[in-house]
Chains A and B, each alone.
Chain A
């Protein structure tokens, strides 16, 4: 697993994503809260954070968390996602060969949180890391979910003078948070 993780990190960083890994959920949560504070999340348009539901949030006290980070909402709507600086969503698979993340994105709040805000924090369980595309294709089931997203780094363009520019229509920052042990309480 370590070797695959190293490959993932190398590939993801090569396309300007940030990669972090934590042994426990509590440590990951600490990191995210600290990040939200440092990003200046506040209860005003343009500074919101939205967090789409996922297994990571189970056993997390959302009310406490929201109180600790004003401007953070677990109700993801078109309006607050469009006015959010940070969107947080959980991903289903990671693909080491290209540094990509894969998400069952049929639930609208996952798409809103991962597309509209300036920064996307992507949470992924380390055991969901697979080596390559054939392995990922062995897992995903398009006949069971109507929308699957592959995400590789932040949004990018080279349409003006071929100069690579990060952040066009999607997030300009992608922060990937691996969690080894997703079970257990804070």
Chain B
């Protein structure tokens, strides 16, 4: 990471106007967006948009031809080109041929993409942005800090200063007056300009129609007053049918500015009369600039489904801290990172892609259903391929992947830490490592990792099963259905299986344990065979928090499930994947699949959501992206058995195999949703329900599902961003007044526990498993 980039991050972080405005906006946005979508089925609307824009992205040539035919038949002229330079030349020629001295523009990201303004200005033409925010930025000589609200980082005082310095002295910092001032000054420009330039939000092929969405009314003036109208349209704006406009107009204003519809929507399908009765010159430039190439890329094609609403910026925990300036001059935020990589150059995204913490917030709100974090990972992978993996990183992965070596290194380190560790925390580290402990304490490495403790854990399965059987028989008696002879025999044989230990059961072992809804006694008996679960610990539970793993074993034992720890398990590959090192991740996947499928188990359970996602989804994705199809069947076999801790426990509670102690009143707890659990595994109610049943009262914190800033190695690479994200989280936790915060992710525990320790707040931070282990019968 270059120093300039780090500096730009720090400048942004220390600009209170920027972080204040963006922070307040992101909070207000969440509420107002939800209100704007009331009565609308967002999932249905975005499925429609993704479908129609996806179709368009596969038919760009065809739609461009259709559009051209339609609008040219009515007298417009269409110029299609791949080259930004040709777009600039076309406009300059047109301006010079028509003696154009002044151009008024309404907002066009495509024109910003090709740096049109400086080019035309160099040729002696005055170019005026007329969108208020864009005009302010243009006068101030700055770049937009947000795609929809370009001047959000400026205060009214700063705007007044810019107006006073650049336009007319003595403007007061009064917003209505500043707006009125802009209206007056720009009105004169609208009336005198000979050419108007706009972008377009949609270009409809069927009817040859440009759809332009604005609030200020500037696009209406730009397309009405000057005699020449030039529309610069990225070809991804093409859509097949006029009816396709409906879902986009339903989502775009709601997602962009939480409006039901913007003040103005303008549909231009051909030249209209000028004020002197002559027909307007209408030129449409269909600009490619690598969009066709993008549409042929199986991964990145979906990025053409973007409607430029910027909602991915508004919900991003990183963007609201750093704003748009660190991203460069044109496209900002998550989607901006992807567009920059294509429309500028892959290497232009090298630094900005590292800003993504992979929390997945944007995937929940994107109207184009674009997997933004997934595509950013793909950029990371391609950059890693292009540049080669850095040596230091290579060295780290070779250690991480060799569990024995990693063990011994961590053990050595844990001994070396002894003088630094106190109450299970490391609060300061020497030298450059100090950054890691600046804003949170780190957990001390456990003396004995879970893998070495595991064999010594006493598993009380037989006892639990005996109790369960009594329970089942009692239920059977009350429901009046006595067990049949065969069923009794089956039960007994299951019991003897337990006694025999490891004997595998052929019928039950292939059952995929996901949809059990057993309620009656017969089914209940069937659902309590001798079941076994493989525990996948992941690094943090193995080395730092073995007690979490012990809690999981204790709980599953109570349901009559024996837990094994396959020794061959290694790193889940998430760190490698998140660094773009897919080959390393695939090797991890292979080793883990071999280990976890080596014994016949019903479940593979993990108490780390990131690991669960890796086991359930990423192994498959990794093999697919590397073309290692021969590994896919086993990856799917594993995925079918994988479950996160809370989902499994909830299932066991629902089946009556786990019962909470009665009448417990445990007081308030607040629950933090971990990113991958909530947004990839869609689990958020299960842990809350379990904690409530155990006797806790849930006190919801503000933004419970906002990232804590951990993001695996993110907090080590960008501690300056991780720290303020954590700070917000800690405040929200403290505001609930709960003495305990629970979560399902050891990474979040590390971040939040470490933060609260530094902070000095007396709030306990625990994995849900630890809380539940004591509360079950």
The answer to whether A147 touches B221, judged by C-beta atoms less than 8 angstroms apart, is no
User: Quick check: is B155 within 8 A (CB to CB) of the other chain?
Assistant: yes
Q: Which label, helix, strand, loop or mixed, suits the secondary structure of the A interface?
A: loop
User: Quick check: is B55 within 8 A (CB to CB) of the other chain?
Assistant: no
Question: Which residues does chain B contribute within 8 Å of A148, judged by CB atoms?
Answer: 266-267, 269
Question: Which residues does chain B contribute within 8 Å of A167, judged by CB atoms?
Answer: 179-180, 183
The answer to whether B221 touches A169, judged by C-beta atoms less than 8 angstroms apart, is yes
User: Quick check: is A38 within 8 A (CB to CB) of the other chain?
Assistant: no
State how many angstroms separate the Cβ of A122 from the closest Cβ of chain B.
13
User: Quick check: is B605 within 8 A (CB to CB) of the other chain?
Assistant: no
Question: Which residues does chain A contribute within 8 Å of B180, judged by CB atoms?
Answer: 167
Question: Which residues does chain B contribute within 8 Å of A147, judged by CB atoms?
Answer: 223, 266-269, 272
The answer to whether B260 touches A142, judged by C-beta atoms less than 8 angstroms apart, is no
Question: Which residues does chain A contribute within 8 Å of B221, judged by CB atoms?
Answer: 115-116, 169-170
In the assembled complex, the Cα of A11 lies from the Cα of B154 at a distance in Å of 31
Report the interface size for chain A: residues with CB under 8 A from the other chain: 48
For window 124-149 of B, CB contacts with A under 8 Å fall at 130-133, 136, 149
Question: Which residues does chain A contribute within 8 Å of B175, judged by CB atoms?
Answer: 160-161, 163, 165
Question: Which residues does chain A contribute within 8 Å of B269, judged by CB atoms?
Answer: 142-143, 145-148
Which of B240-248, B360-368, B410-418, B615-623 has 4 or more CB atoms under 8 Å from chain A? B240-248
Interface size class for chain B? Answer: 35 or more
In the assembled complex, the Cα of A107 lies from the Cα of B279 at a distance in Å of 11
With A108-B275, A137-B245, A162-B152 known to touch, is A152 a contact of B262 (CB < 8 Å)? Answer: yes
User: Quick check: is B556 within 8 A (CB to CB) of the other chain?
Assistant: no
Q: Residue of A at shortest CB range from B245?
A: A137
Question: Which residues does chain B contribute within 8 Å of A153, judged by CB atoms?
Answer: 263
Which of B186-194, B482-490, B510-518, B725-733 has 4 or more CB atoms under 8 Å from chain A? B186-194
Question: Which residues does chain B contribute within 8 Å of A21, judged by CB atoms?
Answer: none
B260 contact from A77, A98, A137, Cβ within 8 A: A98
In the assembled complex, the Cα of A107 lies from the Cα of B275 at a distance in Å of 10
User: Quick check: is A168 within 8 A (CB to CB) of the other chain?
Assistant: yes
The answer to whether B266 touches A149, judged by C-beta atoms less than 8 angstroms apart, is yes
User: Quick check: is A64 within 8 A (CB to CB) of the other chain?
Assistant: no
Q: Residue of B at shortest CB range from A81?
A: B275
Question: Which residues does chain B contribute within 8 Å of A169, judged by CB atoms?
Answer: 130, 183, 186-187, 190, 216-218, 220-221
Q: Mark A80-102, 1 if CB is under 8 A from B, else 0.
A: 00100000000000000111100
State how many angstroms separate the Cβ of A104 from the closest Cβ of chain B.
10
B131 contact from A116, A151, A159, Cβ within 8 A: A159
The answer to whether B273 touches A159, judged by C-beta atoms less than 8 angstroms apart, is no
User: Quick check: is B437 within 8 A (CB to CB) of the other chain?
Assistant: no
The answer to whether B263 touches A78, judged by C-beta atoms less than 8 angstroms apart, is no
The answer to whether B176 touches A111, judged by C-beta atoms less than 8 angstroms apart, is no
In the assembled complex, the Cα of A167 lies from the Cα of B262 at a distance in Å of 14
State how many angstroms separate the Cβ of B586 from the closest Cβ of chain A.
46
Question: Which residues does chain A contribute within 8 Å of B519, judged by CB atoms?
Answer: none
The answer to whether B224 touches A156, judged by C-beta atoms less than 8 angstroms apart, is no
The answer to whether B267 touches A170, judged by C-beta atoms less than 8 angstroms apart, is no
The answer to whether A160 touches B217, judged by C-beta atoms less than 8 angstroms apart, is no
A150 contact from B24, B155, B246, B261, Cβ within 8 A: B261
State how many angstroms separate the Cβ of B30 from the closest Cβ of chain A.
14
Q: Residue of B at shortest CB range from A115?
A: B220
User: Quick check: is A155 within 8 A (CB to CB) of the other chain?
Assistant: yes
For window 243-257 of B, CB contacts with A under 8 Å fall at 243, 245-246, 249-250, 257
With A142-B242, A160-B159, A163-B175 known to touch, is A78 a contact of B270 (CB < 8 Å)? Answer: no
Q: Mark A48-78, 1 if CB is under 8 A from B, else 0.
A: 0000000000000000000000000000011
The answer to whether B225 touches A78, judged by C-beta atoms less than 8 angstroms apart, is yes
User: Quick check: is B150 within 8 A (CB to CB) of the other chain?
Assistant: yes
B→A interface (CB under 8 Å): 21, 24-25, 28, 70, 74, 130-133, 136, 149-152, 154-156, 159, 175-176, 178-180, 182-183, 186-187, 190-191, 204, 207-209, 215-218, 220-221, 223-225, 242-243, 245-246, 249-250, 257, 259-275
6 A-B contact pairs sorted by A residue (CB < 8 Å): A97-B260, A115-B221, A137-B242, A146-B271, A149-B265, A160-B179
